[in-house]
Protein backbone atom coordinates (compact mmCIF):
# COMPACT_ATOMS: atom_id res chain seq x y z
CA UNK A 1 0.00 0.00 0.00
CA UNK A 2 1.50 3.33 -1.04
CA UNK A 3 0.45 6.42 0.90
CA UNK A 4 1.95 9.88 1.35
CA UNK A 5 2.91 10.60 4.95
CA UNK A 6 4.03 14.09 5.96
CA UNK A 7 5.42 15.02 9.35
CA UNK A 8 4.70 18.43 10.83
CA UNK A 9 7.18 20.88 9.29
CA UNK A 10 7.78 23.97 11.44
CA UNK A 11 9.55 25.61 8.49
CA UNK A 12 6.09 26.09 6.97
CA UNK A 13 4.99 28.20 9.94
CA UNK A 14 4.10 31.84 9.41
CA UNK A 15 3.36 34.49 12.00
CA UNK A 16 0.15 36.49 11.77
CA UNK A 17 -1.21 39.34 13.91
CA UNK A 18 -2.54 37.12 16.74
CA UNK A 19 -0.48 33.92 16.52
CA UNK A 20 1.00 31.42 14.07
CA UNK A 21 -0.18 29.18 11.22
CA UNK A 22 1.54 25.96 10.10
CA UNK A 23 0.74 24.71 6.61
CA UNK A 24 0.17 20.94 6.50
CA UNK A 25 -0.84 20.55 2.85
CA UNK A 26 -1.62 22.78 -0.12
CA UNK A 27 -3.10 21.79 -3.49
CA UNK A 28 -1.74 22.03 -6.03
CA UNK A 29 1.73 21.56 -4.52
CA UNK A 30 2.91 24.61 -6.51
CA UNK A 31 0.24 26.69 -4.73
CA UNK A 32 1.15 29.80 -2.76
CA UNK A 33 -0.90 30.70 0.30
CA UNK A 34 0.37 34.30 0.47
CA UNK A 35 -0.77 34.89 -3.13
CA UNK A 36 -4.07 33.03 -2.50
CA UNK A 37 -3.05 30.75 -5.38
CA UNK A 38 -4.44 27.34 -4.38
CA UNK A 39 -7.57 25.17 -4.58
CA UNK A 40 -7.41 24.03 -0.97
CA UNK A 41 -5.12 24.27 2.03
CA UNK A 42 -4.87 22.45 5.36
CA UNK A 43 -3.20 24.08 8.34
CA UNK A 44 -3.12 24.37 12.10
CA UNK A 45 -3.05 27.73 13.83
CA UNK A 46 -2.62 29.22 17.26
CA UNK A 47 -4.49 32.28 18.48
CA UNK A 48 -2.35 33.83 21.20
CA UNK A 49 -4.36 37.02 21.77
CA UNK A 50 -7.55 37.00 23.85
CA UNK A 51 -9.34 38.87 21.04
CA UNK A 52 -8.49 38.79 17.34
CA UNK A 53 -9.84 39.89 13.98
CA UNK A 54 -9.76 37.36 11.14
CA UNK A 55 -7.98 38.27 7.91
CA UNK A 56 -10.10 38.86 4.80
CA UNK A 57 -10.15 35.68 2.71
CA UNK A 58 -12.82 36.71 0.21
CA UNK A 59 -13.60 33.94 -2.27
CA UNK A 60 -12.48 31.23 0.19
CA UNK A 61 -14.73 28.96 2.25
CA UNK A 62 -13.21 28.28 5.66
CA UNK A 63 -13.86 25.35 7.96
CA UNK A 64 -12.32 25.77 11.38
CA UNK A 65 -12.21 22.94 13.95
CA UNK A 66 -11.05 23.76 17.46
CA UNK A 67 -8.26 21.55 18.85
CA UNK A 68 -7.51 23.20 22.22
CA UNK A 69 -9.21 25.85 24.35
CA UNK A 70 -12.56 27.57 23.96
CA UNK A 71 -13.41 30.04 21.21
CA UNK A 72 -16.23 32.46 20.58
CA UNK A 73 -16.54 33.15 16.84
CA UNK A 74 -18.41 36.33 16.02
CA UNK A 75 -19.49 36.73 12.39
CA UNK A 76 -20.58 40.39 12.39
CA UNK A 77 -24.27 40.77 11.47
CA UNK A 78 -24.71 37.01 10.96
CA UNK A 79 -24.26 34.75 13.99
CA UNK A 80 -22.03 33.93 16.94
CA UNK A 81 -20.85 30.42 17.72
CA UNK A 82 -19.16 29.00 20.81
CA UNK A 83 -16.62 26.27 20.06
CA UNK A 84 -14.97 23.74 22.35
CA UNK A 85 -12.45 21.08 21.24
CA UNK A 86 -13.48 19.32 18.03
CA UNK A 87 -16.48 21.59 17.40
CA UNK A 88 -16.35 23.25 13.98
CA UNK A 89 -17.76 26.11 11.95
CA UNK A 90 -17.83 26.63 8.17
CA UNK A 91 -18.06 30.21 6.94
CA UNK A 92 -17.27 32.63 4.14
CA UNK A 93 -13.70 33.94 4.46
CA UNK A 94 -14.90 37.36 3.31
CA UNK A 95 -17.16 37.84 6.32
CA UNK A 96 -16.15 40.27 9.06
CA UNK A 97 -15.17 37.74 11.74
CA UNK A 98 -13.74 38.24 15.21
CA UNK A 99 -12.87 35.74 17.89
CA UNK A 100 -12.42 35.63 21.64
CA UNK A 101 -10.22 33.02 23.28
CA UNK A 102 -6.66 31.69 23.12
CA UNK A 103 -6.80 28.44 21.16
CA UNK A 104 -5.23 26.00 18.71
CA UNK A 105 -7.31 25.10 15.67
CA UNK A 106 -7.33 23.07 12.46
CA UNK A 107 -8.24 24.87 9.23
CA UNK A 108 -9.48 23.83 5.83
CA UNK A 109 -9.64 26.56 3.17
CA UNK A 110 -11.37 25.80 -0.15
CA UNK A 111 -11.85 27.90 -3.28
CA UNK A 112 -12.62 27.71 -7.00
CA UNK A 113 -15.11 24.84 -6.81
CA UNK A 114 -13.36 22.70 -4.22
CA UNK A 115 -15.38 21.62 -1.16
CA UNK A 116 -14.36 19.82 1.99
CA UNK A 117 -15.49 18.41 5.30
CA UNK A 118 -13.86 17.53 8.60
CA UNK A 119 -14.77 14.58 10.85
CA UNK A 120 -13.21 14.02 14.27
CA UNK A 121 -12.64 10.59 15.84
CA UNK A 122 -11.40 9.80 19.33
CA UNK A 123 -9.82 6.33 19.36
CA UNK A 124 -8.97 4.43 22.56
CA UNK A 125 -5.92 2.18 22.69
CA UNK A 126 -6.04 -1.11 20.73
CA UNK A 127 -9.05 0.00 18.69
CA UNK A 128 -9.31 -0.53 14.95
CA UNK A 129 -11.26 2.01 12.92
CA UNK A 130 -12.28 1.71 9.27
CA UNK A 131 -12.87 4.98 7.45
CA UNK A 132 -14.61 4.96 4.06
CA UNK A 133 -13.50 7.49 1.47
CA UNK A 134 -16.13 9.19 -0.68
CA UNK A 135 -14.17 12.26 -1.80
CA UNK A 136 -11.44 12.72 -4.41
CA UNK A 137 -8.76 13.38 -1.83
CA UNK A 138 -8.74 12.20 1.77
CA UNK A 139 -6.43 13.00 4.65
CA UNK A 140 -5.95 11.66 8.15
CA UNK A 141 -4.44 14.22 10.54
CA UNK A 142 -3.17 12.94 13.89
CA UNK A 143 -3.82 15.59 16.52
CA UNK A 144 -2.40 13.45 19.33
CA UNK A 145 -1.59 9.82 20.01
CA UNK A 146 0.00 7.29 17.67
CA UNK A 147 -1.66 5.18 15.01
CA UNK A 148 -0.77 2.59 12.42
CA UNK A 149 -2.09 3.79 9.08
CA UNK A 150 -1.20 1.80 5.99
CA UNK A 151 1.53 -0.13 7.82
CA UNK A 152 3.20 3.12 8.89
CA UNK A 153 3.30 4.61 12.38
CA UNK A 154 1.92 8.15 12.35
CA UNK A 155 2.48 10.38 15.39
CA UNK A 156 1.05 13.69 16.65
CA UNK A 157 1.19 16.37 13.96
CA UNK A 158 1.48 13.85 11.12
CA UNK A 159 -0.82 13.84 8.12
CA UNK A 160 -1.45 11.04 5.62
CA UNK A 161 -2.76 11.70 2.09
CA UNK A 162 -4.92 9.29 0.05
CA UNK A 163 -6.35 9.62 -3.45
CA UNK A 164 -9.72 7.91 -3.88
CA UNK A 165 -8.77 6.24 -7.15
CA UNK A 166 -6.21 4.27 -5.09
CA UNK A 167 -8.17 3.74 -1.86
CA UNK A 168 -11.86 3.21 -1.07
CA UNK A 169 -11.23 2.97 2.67
CA UNK A 170 -8.46 2.69 5.23
CA UNK A 171 -8.10 0.78 8.49
CA UNK A 172 -6.45 2.57 11.37
CA UNK A 173 -5.02 0.76 14.38
CA UNK A 174 -4.54 2.69 17.61
CA UNK A 175 -1.09 2.31 19.18
CA UNK A 176 -1.82 4.87 21.90
CA UNK A 177 -5.15 6.62 22.44
CA UNK A 178 -5.69 9.88 20.68
CA UNK A 179 -7.63 12.05 18.28
CA UNK A 180 -7.62 12.05 14.50
CA UNK A 181 -9.34 14.23 11.92
CA UNK A 182 -10.52 12.83 8.60
CA UNK A 183 -10.54 15.47 5.86
CA UNK A 184 -12.41 14.79 2.63
CA UNK A 185 -12.03 17.17 -0.31
CA UNK A 186 -13.93 17.13 -3.62
CA UNK A 187 -13.01 19.31 -6.56
CA UNK A 188 -14.74 20.47 -9.70
CA UNK A 189 -13.37 17.99 -12.27
CA UNK A 190 -12.41 20.82 -14.61
CA UNK A 191 -9.92 22.00 -11.98
CA UNK A 192 -8.11 18.71 -11.37
Domain identity same for 129 and 86: no
Domain identity same for 39 and 94: yes
pLDDT at 140: 95
pLDDT at 4: 74
Domain identity same for 50 and 105: yes
| CATH number for the domain harbouring residue 119 | 2.60.120.10
* Cβ burial, residue 80 (10 Å; 0-12/13-18/19+): exposed
Separation between Cα atoms, residue 74 and residue 54, nearest integer Å: 10
pLDDT at 9: 64
Model pTM greater than 0.85?
A: yes
Amino acid sequence: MKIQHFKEDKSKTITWASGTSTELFIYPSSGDFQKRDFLFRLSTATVEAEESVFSDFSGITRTLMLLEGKLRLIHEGRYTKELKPFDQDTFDGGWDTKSKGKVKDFNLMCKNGSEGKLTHYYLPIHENKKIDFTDEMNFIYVENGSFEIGNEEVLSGGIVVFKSNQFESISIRTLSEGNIIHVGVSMDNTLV
